[in-house]
Amino acid sequence: MTELLTAAQMRAIEQAAIASGTVTGLALMERAGAGVVKAILAEWPELAEGRQASTGALPRTPGYFRTENAGRRALVLCGPGNNGGDGFVVARLLRARGWEVRVHLYGDAAKLPPNARANHDRWRGMGDVSRWAAASILGQAETMAPDVIVDAVFGTGLTRPLPPEVAAVMTALPAGRRVAVDAPSGLCMDSGRVLGAAAVCATLTVTFHAPKLGHVLAEGPFRCGVLRLVDIGLGPQDRADRNAHAIVRLEEGTGQLFKDPHAHKFDHGHALILSGGPGRGGAARLSARAALRVGAGLVTLGCPPDAMAENAARLDAIMLRQVGGEGLAQVLADRRINALCLGPGFGLGALQARHVAEALDSGRALVLDADALTLLARDAGLFAMLHADCVLTPHAGEFTRLFPDITARLAKPALGGPAFSKVDAARAAAARAGCVVLFKGPDTVIAAPSGACRINAAVYDRAVPWLATAGSGDVLAGMITGLLARDFGAFEAACTGAWLHVEAARSFGPGLIAEDLPEELPKVFRGLRL
Ligand SMILES: NC(=O)C1=CN([C@@H]2O[C@H](COP(=O)(O)OP(=O)(O)OC[C@H]3O[C@@H](n4cnc5c(N)ncnc54)[C@H](O)[C@@H]3O)[C@@H](O)[C@H]2O)[C@@H](O)CC1
Ligand SMILES: [K+]
């Protein structure tokens, strides 16, 4: 499972590898720069065309290779840290391929960290380094018409907004192939948020060893363009000494979806989905259908007496029970009902609040979505009843209602790194609620009170914009409820449900409506060879 690293974790891994003597910082930088060049040529194979120049001491006459090569040109923008060091490696390796390369440095060469300085000096044996001047860089970007512009200004070490003279360049780069080394400069790699107001919009971002949180959260995917990962030989980590809950993973895979071929339907649990009144049952029916398709043995829809006829006409495999003013006690007397879902199309009245209280009081595994989240936000007493087997599934608006102070921290302009992130927000919410919180979005974050955290990233190749459709959240709530009925723990149910939800959408493709999602699950399961 892919681990997502913070900038500090990446630094620690690098330092541990160097301290162990298995690799030098200079070797890592060389591999990083070489990886960037390889990724550029893989992304745009047409750039590989042209005559190869020999390596070694090359004349420093600008434009020397202009007539020698296929006319490939790169503008490399380097910064004051090791990201800039990677940039000097890229410049050298492109030049060695016969490219014309122009390099600009933001900062003072004498103050570069040692490895970056060493690569600066090696590059100086091949070409010039111009001092940073916004007008001349932008002018050169126009007149030179580079095939590639390399952003090696700031990487994981960015701690504050881009200086104005850097922002002036990075936000005005011409369209074309803009390659970010490790990170688009201006982006906080712990949060995916832009520090201040300016960051590069790259077409290709090449990162090293493992993706960072900022590559998948918030604005990260939109700023990175295509994301490529380069192995720089740091190897698998020994994480024994690290707090497992500090690690954020990308959600991927099947969890415990397999079913025992000898099992009975009652072995797969019984989910109860509560519905709203007449004419409002569609949302709960979607949830119920998803719970059944994801493999709950039995699913019952509970609805008010006046909605019985409507639901009876619409349901077959899903059972129907009347749940009215008499409360939930009678239904829950059936101990086989082991997972509940309240919220989709539910209603916001006193009776619904009472049903939420009864459901919480029953101690059953529980998904609270939509209207149930609004009821929780209105009533501190209800909120206080949340327990470890609950899953809250708020979208951004519901999250704000439930945790206004946490949203306020997230909404505050990010001026310093590491900026408060959606991961921080979901973790804080889960700790306060004492249950699992699934904070929706293209970067869905699932957090448990323990600090355990995963991101279900529907970005890059996994983007599913057509999932933003009415009723899709009701289906997600139902999938999670069905998995709870199948005895998944709350955290695993939320993670696996979120993953399947995106997989179903990807499998169906454009044109998807919420009804299609549960019906697509069998195909997803077949693909998983369940
Ligand atoms: N960690 C690793 O294992 C590796 C890191 N490498 C590269 O090293 C980079 C990290 O290097 P650094 O930690 O030196 O960080 P950066 O090169 O990203 O930037 C750090 C420098 O910029 C300054 N700075 C930060 N924000 C600033 C701002 N807004 N305005 C002006 N100055 C600012 C800092 O004081 C520091 O001097 C990575 O992104 C990657 O490109 C690679 O060489 C490969 C290996
Ligand atoms: K960069």
- Which residues have C-beta within 8 Å of that of residue 334, sequence separation ≥ 6? 270
How far is 507 from 173, CA to CA, in rounded Å? 37
Q: Shortest CA distance to 251 belongs to which of 522, 528, 501?
A: 501
> What pLDDT, on the 0 to 100 scale, is given for residue 364?
98
pLDDT, one tens digit per residue, over 428-451 is: 999 999 999 999 999 999 999 999
**Token pair for 425:** 């927000």
Domain residue spans in the chain? Answer: 3-244, 266-399+462-527
> What pLDDT, on the 0 to 100 scale, is given for residue 242?
57
Looking at CATH, the fold of the domain delimited by 3-244 is given as Rossmann fold (3.40.50)
C-beta of residue 434 within 8 angstroms of C-beta of residue 382: no
| Pocket probe mutation, ligand 1, options 14, 156, 193, 230, max atoms within 8 Å of Cβ | 156
- Which residues have C-beta within 8 Å of that of residue 16, sequence separation ≥ 6? none
Kindly give the distance from the C-alpha atom of residue 428 to the centroid of ligand 2, in angstroms, as a whole number. 30
Is the CB–ligand 1 distance for residue 157 below 6 Å? yes
> What pLDDT, on the 0 to 100 scale, is given for residue 62?
46
For the CA atoms of 65, 68, 72, 76, the dihedral, rounded to the nearest 10 degrees, stands at -10
Q: Which ligand is nearest to the CA of 149?
A: 2
- Cβ neighbours of 203 (radius 10 Å): 18
Helix (H, G, I), strand (E, B) or coil at 177: strand
Which ligand 1 atom lies nearest to the CA of residue 25? 45
> What pLDDT, on the 0 to 100 scale, is given for residue 252?
74
> What pLDDT, on the 0 to 100 scale, is given for residue 1?
63
Kindly give the distance from the C-alpha atom of residue 156 to the centroid of ligand 1, in angstroms, as a whole number. 5
> What pLDDT, on the 0 to 100 scale, is given for residue 248?
81
How far is 364 from 373, CA to CA, in rounded Å? 17
CA-only gyration radius of the chain, Å: 27
> What pLDDT, on the 0 to 100 scale, is given for residue 153?
98
How far is 443 from 492, CA to CA, in rounded Å? 17
Q: Which ligand is nearest to the CA of 153?
A: 2
Domain 266-399+462-527 is classified in which CATH homologous superfamily?
Answer: Ribokinase (3.40.1190.20)
Where do we find the tokens 């899709």?
Answer: 472
pLDDT, one tens digit per residue, over 85-119 is: 999 999 999 999 999 999 999 999 999 999 999 99
User: What are the residue ranges in the chain where pLDDT is below 70?
Assistant: 1, 50-70, 237-246, 254-255
How far is 354 from 334, CA to CA, in rounded Å? 19
> What pLDDT, on the 0 to 100 scale, is given for residue 236?
75
Q: Shortest CA distance to 160 belongs to which of 419, 420, 417, 421?
A: 417
> What pLDDT, on the 0 to 100 scale, is given for residue 411?
96
